[in-house]
Amino acid sequence: MATVLGVNGVFHDPAAAVVADGVIRAAAEEERFTRRKHGKTPVPFSTWELPEQAIAWCLAEAGVDVDAIDAVAYSYSPDLAREVGHDVTTDDWESLRSLFVQRAPRFLRTVLPGLDPAVVRFVPHHRAHAASSYLAAPYGDCATMVVDGRGERGSFLAGRVRDGDLDVLSTVDLPHSLGLMYETATEHLGFRRSSDEYKVMALAAYGEPAHLDTLRELVRVDGGAFTTAPIDWSRFAPPGRGEDGWTRADADLAASVQRRLEEALLELAGWLHDVTGEHALTMAGGVALNCVANTRIAEESPFDAVWVQPAAGDAGTALGAALHVAHELGDTVTPMTTAALGRAWDDDAVAAALEVADVPYTRPADLAAAVADVLAADGLVAWVQGRSEWGPRALGHRSLLANPARAENLVRLNDVKGREQFRPVAPMVLAERAAEIFEGPLPSPYMLFTHRVKPEWRDRIPAVVHVDGTARIQTVDARDQPLLAAMLRALEARTGVPVCVNTSLNTGGRPMVDSPRDASSASAPARSTRWRSVAVWFAADRSSRRPPSGTRHDHGTVVRGRGADDRTPAGPSAAPRVDRALLGAGPGGGGGRRRPPRRAAATRRESLRRRCGGDRGA
């Protein structure tokens, strides 16, 4: 029985995780504490920076002292990295990165006084990614595939798993990289690389893969390997302006890059199935966050099942490294059953945060019904319940909710969050109702696949239908999230629609909120008109399942303001028993009609459709 601390700190998304006796006890990204998106800039000079606050919290949550740590699993191996030369400035300072990694045990000792540096174990980057999928997945034997920008020297790993042991069947060395290919296209289109690739995926739906034949020549797959030639993106489109605007040429380039990525991944998955014969595929690496590509693999590859690590990016290597070492030390690893692995607060802490922020609160008798009332009246709801999510997707723990039946809510939410108008928002739906409305891989609890919205539902939930007729859904299982399920049922009783808009509770360029202070500061103290229509709720859901990681209670949040009805529902509760709930009144006050969306914003959204020839999903 071992206690393992996992740490990711080399590139971006620094994070920590604790696995004790084979069970995931806690996992958190540093950005949730520092409020800096992605934690740090992925340059060699930042390699020494460790996720100090995430480490401290994970250990505290698991009840582990420094002297009880059996191993620290660091998700990068200096043995595989470039050798440290006499001049650390060569090769874009890559030797400096290697030097800092070699010194990681010493850096860790400064963060954890008393730590024996000998307990630090280096886990190769792609093995850590792989372990985060195959050891966390609900399978025994399986195939696994890792695709990202880069690790120590490579960008791809594929293998077979038997009894928790990985047999590596193929790797691809740099400079060939599907992830870096996508990153450089992202940068050319005017977005931030190693961060905004999901925006390119969204933009692709507005274009045609006009350059696909050329990209097929430049990006070639041969069995379980591939090559990526240097690409001059300017031959396809001028440098883009990113969030300041885009052109049809930008959309066509995004569509071409996206389509070639999908094709390459399908070819690699097909080869892996041929050589392993496994029925299940697990995936990790930053490219595995591309839910459009994931869907094609799930539907078109020979694999019967596909499971993707919710924190598929570099943050997930902290968990994967810890699981890998726990397995090496002889523990039987328990599969991951929830992404709710972060922080939660008790009632006193929530109340204190609301009082400091000067946000009044009440305790409705039926929280699910009260939230449904706000949504049915076209209010926005910032829902913060229980432990925060592990990974970049909002899964009903730190979510911004809205009524999907109003098309203008897409423009409204993108304005509220300061996002580009071409970006979609996602729906959540009860797991048992999903197949009535959506076609695609089900269930989808971690929002890692896209689904086709059935034609008869597109006009009923227009706010969550992307221009190509798809939606990236989250299925809600009442056994895992009873309060959220009760809210969805209450919303359907009021609107006839068993779907709710679910987008991350943050503003553009900022991490998702994590603490009650974060949530309250997103509404009451910020007197911005953007947030005046939002209402915030904090709820204690005693009946939701959670991993055995302490005795804190689960909590959650929503905001009430303009456009939200101020009634407190009476009568028996249809939701699971909620014996403590806090309702925060937002800066707009209660009651009143919400101001209609700005005409210019609605016009911008419509212009996107006209620019690309109407609704491509029709």
Catalytic (active site) residue 12: yes
pLDDT at 538: 63
- H or E segment and range at residue 181: helix 178-188
Structure tokens at 502: 């679910």
- Torsion sign (Cα): 302, 307, 313, 319: negative
User: Residue 84 pLDDT > 50, yes or no?
Assistant: yes
CATH code for the structural domain at 3-128+317-328? 3.30.420.40
Asked if 3-128+317-328 and 137-308 have one fold, the answer is yes
User: Residue 486 pLDDT > 70, yes or no?
Assistant: yes
pLDDT at 397: 93
Answer whether 387's CB lies under 8 Å from 554's CB. Answer: yes
User: Residue 595 pLDDT > 50, yes or no?
Assistant: no
User: Residue 544 pLDDT > 60, yes or no?
Assistant: no
Q: Taking Cα atoms as reference points, which of 568, 464, 561 lies closest to residue 522?
A: 561
Give the active site residue among 12, 129, 451, 553.
Answer: 12
Annotated domain spans of the chain: 3-128+317-328, 137-308, 347-608
User: Residue 184 pLDDT > 60, yes or no?
Assistant: yes
pLDDT at 527: 35
Instruction: Report the alpha-carbon distance of residue 265 to residue 169 in Å, rounded.
Output: 16
User: Residue 73 pLDDT > 50, yes or no?
Assistant: yes
Mean predicted confidence (pLDDT) in 263-268: 98
Residue 67: how many CB atoms within 10 A of its CB?
9
Instruction: Report the alpha-carbon distance of residue 304 to residue 314 in Å, rounded.
Output: 27
DSSP assignment of 416-449, as one string?
Answer: HHT--TT---EEEEEGGGHHHHEESSS--TT--S
User: Residue 75 pLDDT > 80, yes or no?
Assistant: yes
CA dist 374 → 187, 190, 396, 490 (Å): 40, 38, 16, 11
pLDDT at 91: 79
Instruction: Report the alpha-carbon distance of residue 40 to residue 379 in Å, rounded.
Output: 35
pLDDT at 362: 77
Does domain 137-308 sit in CATH 3.30.360.10?
Answer: no
**Residues whose CB falls within 8 Å of the CB of residue 241, separated by 6 or more in sequence, listed in order:** 190
Any idea which residue has 């919290």 for tokens? 57
Mean predicted confidence (pLDDT) in 219-240: 97
pLDDT at 534: 64
CA dist 440 → 390, 430, 485, 493 (Å): 24, 15, 21, 26
Q: 614: pLDDT confidence band, cut at 50, 70 and 90?
A: very low
If phi > 0 it is left, if psi is from -120 to 50 it is alpha, else beta; for residue 589 that is: left
Q: By percentage, how much of the chain surpasses pLDDT 70? A: 84
pLDDT at 268: 98
- The tens digit of pLDDT for each residue in 282-328 reads 999 999 999 999 999 999 999 999 999 999 999 999 999 999 999 99
- The tens digit of pLDDT for each residue in 559-589 reads 223 233 332 332 322 222 222 233 333 323 3
pLDDT at 574: 28
pLDDT at 553: 28
Helices marked H in 301-365 — which ranges? Answer: 316-328, 347-356
- The tens digit of pLDDT for each residue in 436-482 reads 999 999 999 999 999 999 999 999 999 999 999 999 999 999 999 99
The distance from CA 48 to its chain's CA centroid, rounded to whole angstroms, is 25
User: Residue 242 pLDDT > 70, yes or no?
Assistant: yes
Spell out the CATH class of 347-608. Answer: alpha beta
**What average pLDDT does the structure give for the chain?**
85
Mean predicted confidence (pLDDT) in 248-260: 97
Q: 47: pLDDT confidence band, cut at 50, 70 and 90?
A: confident
Least confident range of 491-495, 516-520, 614-618: 614-618
Q: Taking Cα atoms as reference points, which of 265, 281, 317, 303 lies closest to residue 131?
A: 317
- The tens digit of pLDDT for each residue in 108-161 reads 999 999 999 999 999 999 999 999 999 999 998 999 999 999 999 999 999 999
Q: Which residue would you say has higher pLDDT here, 351 or 386? A: 386
Instruction: Report the alpha-carbon distance of residue 307 to residue 216 in Å, rounded.
Output: 27
For 386-399, letters b (16+ CB in 10 Å) and e give bbbbbbbbbbbbbb
